[in-house]
Amino acid sequence: MNFHLQKLEPPSNSLQKVVKDIAHQAFWDLLKEELGSDPPEYSRALTLLAEIKEWLLSLLLPHQTKTQQEIKDKIDIDLIKQQVESGTLDMQQYSDYIVSLMARLCSPGRDEKIRELTTLRDVIPLYKGIFQTLELMRLDMANFTIRQIRPQIAACSVEYERQKFEDYLKITPDGLRNTREWLYRNKKPSSPESATSSTDSVSVISSLLIDSFMELLMWDLKNPWPESLALDETRFAELRNKLFSVEILSSVLLVSLSQNMGSPLDLSAQFRQSFKEHLAVVLGHPKCDEEVESVLASVATQVTEDIDQELKKQTLPQLSVEVKNLIVGQVSALSQSDNKIRKIIHTRIMEFLRQVISNEVARPTQIPAGLSLFRSEIAGIAGQFARLVSHNRAVFAQHYADLIVQHCL
C-alpha cells in the first residue's frame, strides 16, 4: 500500500480551472476593496481569520492541548469583532502571529514558504500566501497520519477483502474457475523423482505462485482474468504498459549507443540522460508492437540528430551515411517482439522482478546490467509489483494452496 494524498489541480485551461481561479480572485479582490474603503469593512476579514483559526487547529494532534488553547486565545473572534467596532483591529498583528505559529508547526520542507511569508507586508498577498501554505500543511498532516496508520489499514484491508471474496464464493458456482486455470497453466511437468514431503509441497506451491504472478506481466488477453485478481486488473495492465515502455526505450538506447561510430565520442552521463529524455518524448507511451512500429522512424531520426549534435560539441566528425543507416535499421528492427536486443532486455528485467517477489532470495538492489539509466523506472515498477503480489497473497494464500494441492500436485 503506497497511498499518498496530493493537491488536486484542475487541468490547465479547463472550465473547472477557469471557474476556480475566477472565484478565488473575486474573493481577494473584494477583500482588498473592503479593507481599502473608508472606513474599512471587515466582514470578509473576520471570515478569513475564523477559517485560518480552524485550519491551524486541524494541524494539531490531540495531545497538543496547550497550543490549541493558545490559538483560541490569540485568535479570539469575539475579541476581534470588538476591535473592529472600536476601530483598533490590526491585521498585521494577527498575520505575524499566524506566520510564527505556522513556522513552529510546518515540516522542514515548508520552511522556504514560511520565509517568503515573513517578507510580505501587503495584507492581501500575505493572507493569500498564508492560505496556500496552510493548504499544503494540511496535506502534509494528512499524509503523516496515513503513514502512521498504514499497517492497521493494510491489515484491515486484507481481512475485509478476504471476507468479501468468501461472500462472493457462497453465491457463485465455481467462483475460482479462472484462477484455477491460471495456476494450472503454470504447472511444471512432474517427474518420477518428484518428492511428496510437506516441505517440498510448500516449495512447489511457492514456485508455482511466483511463475503465475510473473505471467501477469506478460498476459495473453485471450485468457480469462483470475477472479482473485479482479480488483487489481487495471493496476497490472498499467504495470505491463510501463514495462513495455522501458523495454522499448532501453533497447533503443542500447542499439543506438553500441554502434561503432568511427570516432571516440565521449558518452557522458549528462549526454546519456538528455538523450534518454529526448527519445522518451518522441517514443511516447506505446502499448503494443504496432504502436512502436508507427513511431520508430521518428525515434531513429531523433537518435541520429542527438548523436550528431553531441559529435559537433566535441568537435568530432559527423556520423557517416553508413553508420546512420545502420542505426536506423537497428532501431526499426525493434518493432519485432522477437528482436534479439529486446529479448535480452526483457529477460533481464523479468529475472529482476522474479527475484523481487521470490521468498527464497533477498530483495535485489542491483539494477540489471545495461539498465542503470532506468533505475528509477524499474525500481518503481518493482515496488508496485511487489506490493500487489504481497497483498494478493495475504488475501488469497489459502485458496491458492488448496487449488494447487488439488489440481497441480
pLDDT in tens, 101-140: 999 988 888 888 899 999 988 888 998 899 889 888 888 8
Contact 102, 133 (CB under 8 A): yes
What is the distance in angstroms between the CA of the first residue and the CA of the last residue of the chain? 32
| Burial status of residue 360 (CB atoms within 10 A of its CB: 0-12, 13-18, 19 or more) | exposed
Cβ-proximal residues to 189 (8 Å cutoff; 6+ apart), any chain: none
Distance CA 181, CA 398 (A): 17
Query: Cell 542503470, residue?
Result: 372
| Burial status of residue 315 (CB atoms within 10 A of its CB: 0-12, 13-18, 19 or more) | exposed
Contact 259, 208 (CB under 8 A): no
Distance CA 382, CA 365 (A): 11
Q: What is the pLDDT of residue 198?
A: 53
Closest by CA position to 103, among listed 59, 51, 50: 59
Residue ranges of E strands in 110-223:
none
Distances in Å between the Cα of 225 and the Cα atoms of 162, 185, 219 are 18, 13, 9
Contact 252, 303 (CB under 8 A): yes
Low-confidence ranges of the chain (pLDDT < 50): 195
Q: What is the pLDDT of residue 363?
A: 60
Q: What is the pLDDT of residue 241?
A: 94
